[in-house]
Structure 1
Amino acid sequence: MAKPRIAADVFFLDRTTNRPLQTQIRETVVASILSKQALPGALMPSSRKLAAHLGVARMTVTLAFQELVSQGYLEAHSRSGYRVADTETLSLLPVGTEAEPVDNSALWRNVLSENLRARRRVIKPKDWRALPYPFVFGEMDTSLFNHTAWRECVRQAMGTRDFDLMASNEATDDPLLVDYILSRMLPRRGITATRDQVLITVGAQNALWLAIELLTRAPLKAICENPCYPDTLQALRWCGAEVTTVDVDRDGLVPQDIPAGTQAVFVTPSHHAPTGATLTRARRERLLEMAQARDFIVVEDDYEFEMSFLEPPSPALKAMDRHQRVLYAGSFSKAMFPGLRLGYLVGPAPVIAEAKELRTMMLRHPPGHLQRTAAYFLAQGHYDLLMRDMRREFAKRRMAAVEALDGTALEMVGAARFGGTSLWIKAPDGVDTVALGQALLRDGVVIEPGAPFFSGPDQPTEFFRLGYSSIPADRIAEGIRRIDAKVAEFC
């Protein structure tokens, strides 16, 4: 009995993506097999016919078929071409009609304690990369990254010698990565630590969350800066902390304003989020003196210290911590690329031991292959060269932004003395930067309105953050000109 042949029009390609055609062909064939559109023993369309249908080279289809043969999805037959493999190793999904959805939203509203989607947060357009003037913070210009070096480090990390690390279920941190943090990263901040005082996390945000979870097991009175990174404030409130905010000025947090009874202070001393203010040495010393005298701890978020191109960064609070009162959160994601999601938490050994147990219950550990890849990238010097190139480029972009702001209605009211990747800008009184941001999108400009960073009912509306890590230097002047022109319409 003749085997049925699968029609070529079952398969398709997505021409809107840059993903390799051969990869897409493999994926669409596998999907047809697992959904039982292509049954075991059925003949695949000939490579010539499928290539013509998809509009690709015949060799592209042939190579995709050969790879599927090696994976066991297809079988090659000399006369009839390729057939769907008849093997029990393939788990086939049942074919059926989609059930009518049931509306149980009322049930979930009663179960959930809070609507997190309504929290104050920074939202950037999903298509910001397609816009010509993206003043977006926390993103990078991928042209600065050494993709070839990263691929080589991935290849090394995926080798047989390192596979045991990735295959293990133990909640361990990559010793190579920990060694680099201890020998290179922390000394740059003036910090000395031991292996049992460091924990690898899924970015600095995960490090802060772990600290907050541990600290809020008992009632906690906490202080955040105002303005501040909104997710830190939200996480504290979500975990049940009683949170008060203290206004910052051009020199950062004012220690004397910390109220009595405070048990934890969350601070961004090197580069305040979002104003960029740098906490002075005198205030750092005063904060630590108060922590000792009043018996509170300090959680230091040091998210961007590597971006120092104007002057060397000040020593971290943790470097001045003689009484083990500081938990220090650092990140590789800001300096390398945001999607990496690798950071670290540094603190007293007993605290790190507890944080490790909590991390184990949440996610075991950050992916081993990512840790090892990052460790190779760091240890082989690629990271240091990347930092050199980024500092040079961001110095140019910062200068271009400062020069373009001169003579406009916009005032630069905050910037890190050592560099950084953003400026804190004030528009004329009365301008609502949320509305301004929406209007600017039509001109191809993305800014970050300042409203989500402030706490309390009387929040100023005139501030916004101008990031320059993701916009080429030659577009900055025109982008700021467009912002200034749009501001004039609001005044």
Structure 2
Amino acid sequence: MSISVDTFFLERNGQGTLQAQLQQLIAEGILSGRFHVGEKLPSSRKLAAHLGVSRITVTLAYTELLANDYLTAKGRSGYYVSENAPVPPTYTPVRRDTEIVDWNRACARRFSDGDMLVKPSNWREFRYPFIYGQVDRKLFDHANWRLCAVRALGHKDFDSLTGDYVDQDDPLLVEFIARHTLPRRGIVARPEEILITLGAQNALWLASRILLNRNRRAAIEDPCYYALRDLLIHSECKLSYMKVDRDGLPPDAIPDDTDVIFTTPSHQSPTTATMPVDRRHALLRRARELDAMIVEDDYEFEMSFLGAPSPALRSMDRDGRVIYVGSFSKSLFPGLRLGYMVGSAPFIREARALRSLVLRHPPGHMQRTAAYFLSLGHYDAQIRRMSKTLQRRREAIEEAIGQHGLAVAGRGMLGGSSIWMQAPPRIKTTKLALDLRHQSVHIEPGELFFSGRNRPQNYYRLGYSSISSERIGPGIQQIAEAIRRS
């Protein structure tokens, strides 16, 4: 039996080459069970004419599938679905009536009730996307990243691609972080004091699981990164919320029974406040008095385009009580999910063991690709390019905010990629954000960053990493008009 040529069609905006798309189309047909063993495929000439592609494209796709045992060739008769092709199992699904499992009772813990900032999947279609933490396609060095990824796929890097590191990391990536990234923050660390993580959030989770239990107390900033707060709530430790001021976390307000202090001194999340050096010393002194540990989330330090970043807390620490957390999510792209943590060797040993129990290690290919991208200078070039563009956008957003009389609650003194805003007291920015979506404007409500029951509802965040300079002014105008209407 022959497979009808009408079964085949290619999407206009399909990913990859025409040969790859056709190869995927046939393979998916076999794997899904639509194409059966022994069925004959259309001739290369007939299929090429039907799809409007060259005959050699079809022939190459058939040849590749033949090599992978999806197809078999029978002399001059043509190509057929191979008997050795992977086929879906045949079974009769069990029909379930109404489920009787009481999931409220079955789930010993619940994680779906926490705060989560909803970012629309189609945010790139918004005309004015003041979204935070997303990559700008125009700024990302896609060509060189692709070259590094291809290089990491080579025979020389076969072990890093396919091997199981168990609890170890890519030595090239660790070496670059130790020799180039950390010294820029004044930090000296040996390889055994560095652990690669799946982003900063994974690092924060590891730190909380190791340092905290239900008998210990953690102090966190208010407002703060909402995922950190929920993560600590699930750890069942005692929590103290420290209201931040224009200089970040006030050390004197930290309770006497605190065991771990979580802070974002370079760019406080979300207010963007930068902790002065004097307060950093005061925080270290307070931690020494309490014999407490400090977890320092140093996100966005690379985005200090208005001045040199202040030294990291870890670089000023003489006691070994600071755990440093860094990430490539903002400087490269969030989908990479690569970060790192630095701490004393005994702590990193425990973190490495815990990580291996959960996910062993981040994918070796991603680690090696990132190592090449960093070590070949592409990363620094991208940071310089991003910094220049963000500075222009920062100037545009500052000018537009002033022109339309909007109130700034916090702006990164040294740079960053967002501004913390405050609407009039009567405005609920959650509703404001929904109303603005109808005008193709995206802003991020600030309520979920605050702790407690009576959360302020009139704050919002404007990110400018993914909106062009020429659209910032009109976008701010739309926000100002929406606030006046409210």
Q: How does 1:345-384 map to 2 (within 5 A)?
A: 345-384=341-380
How far is the alpha carbon of 1:131 from its aligned partner?
1.0
Match of 1:405 among 397, 401, 404: 401
The CA distance in 1 between the partners of 2:97 and 2:45, in whole Å, is: 46
The CA distance in 1 between the partners of 2:187 and 2:100, in whole Å, is: 50
The more displaced of 358-367 and 144-153 is 144-153
Counterpart in 2 of 1:288?
284
Counterpart in 1 of 2:59?
62
Match of 1:269 among 247, 260, 265: 265
Aligned partner letter, 2:149: V
The CA distance in 2 between the partners of 1:367 and 1:26, in whole Å, is: 27
Q: How does 1:309-458 map to 2 (within 5 A)?
A: 309-458=305-454
Partner of 1:361, secondary structure, is helix
Counterpart in 2 of 1:50?
47
Contact 1:409 1:427 in 2 (8 A): no
1:72 to 2:69 alignment = yes
Closer/same/farther in 2, CA of residues 169 and 418 from structure 1, 3 Å limit: same
Q: How many residues get paired?
A: 485
The CA distance in 2 between the partners of 1:286 and 1:11, in whole Å, is: 69
Counterpart in 2 of 1:216?
212
Aligned partner letter, 1:40: V
Counterpart in 2 of 1:157?
152
Counterpart in 1 of 2:38?
41
1:6 to 2:15 alignment = no
Partner of 1:344, secondary structure, is strand
The more displaced of 452-461 and 57-66 is 57-66
Q: How does 1:118-137 map to 2 (within 5 A)?
A: 118-137=113-132
Closer/same/farther in 2, CA of residues 36 and 368 from structure 1, 3 Å limit: same
The CA distance in 2 between the partners of 1:56 and 1:434, in whole Å, is: 50
The CA distance in 2 between the partners of 1:218 and 1:148, in whole Å, is: 49
Partner of 1:82, secondary structure, is strand
How far is the alpha carbon of 1:260 from its aligned partner?
1.6
The CA distance in 1 between the partners of 2:96 and 2:481, in whole Å, is: 49
The CA distance in 1 between the partners of 2:343 and 2:97, in whole Å, is: 48
Contact 1:255 1:283 in 2 (8 A): yes
Closer/same/farther in 2, CA of residues 396 and 9 from structure 1, 3 Å limit: same
Closer/same/farther in 2, CA of residues 25 and 397 from structure 1, 3 Å limit: same
Aligned partner letter, 1:382: H
Match of 2:251 among 245, 252, 255: 255
The CA distance in 2 between the partners of 1:184 and 1:286, in whole Å, is: 28
The CA distance in 2 between the partners of 1:120 and 1:403, in whole Å, is: 33
1:123-166 per-position Cα deviation (integer Å, ceiling 9, x unaligned): 11111011111111010111111112111111211111111122
Closer/same/farther in 2, CA of residues 113 and 323 from structure 1, 3 Å limit: same
Partner of 2:420, secondary structure, is strand
Structure 2's unaligned 5+ residue stretches are none
Match of 1:205 among 197, 201, 204: 201
1:413-459 per-position Cα deviation (integer Å, ceiling 9, x unaligned): 11111100000011112100000000000100101100110101111
Partner of 1:75, secondary structure, is strand
The CA distance in 1 between the partners of 2:171 and 2:359, in whole Å, is: 19
**TM, length-normalised to structure 2:** 0.96
Partner of 2:340, secondary structure, is strand
Structure 1's unaligned 5+ residue stretches are none
The CA distance in 2 between the partners of 1:160 and 1:208, in whole Å, is: 35
Contact 2:186 2:311 in 1 (8 A): yes
Percent identity between the two aligned chains: 47
Closer/same/farther in 2, CA of residues 17 and 465 from structure 1, 3 Å limit: farther
How far is the alpha carbon of 1:94 from its aligned partner?
2.4
Contact 1:394 1:468 in 2 (8 A): yes
The CA distance in 1 between the partners of 2:178 and 2:61, in whole Å, is: 45
Match of 1:147 among 138, 142, 147: 142
1:81 to 2:85 alignment = no
Aligned partner letter, 1:121: M
1:266-323 per-position Cα deviation (integer Å, ceiling 9, x unaligned): 1000001111000111111111001111111110001110001000010011011100
Contact 2:213 2:237 in 1 (8 A): no
Closer/same/farther in 2, CA of residues 91 and 217 from structure 1, 3 Å limit: farther
The CA distance in 2 between the partners of 1:463 and 1:257, in whole Å, is: 24
TM-align CA RMSD: 1.8
Counterpart in 2 of 1:189?
185
1:25 to 2:22 alignment = yes
Closer/same/farther in 2, CA of residues 99 and 55 from structure 1, 3 Å limit: farther
The CA distance in 2 between the partners of 1:362 and 1:55, in whole Å, is: 49
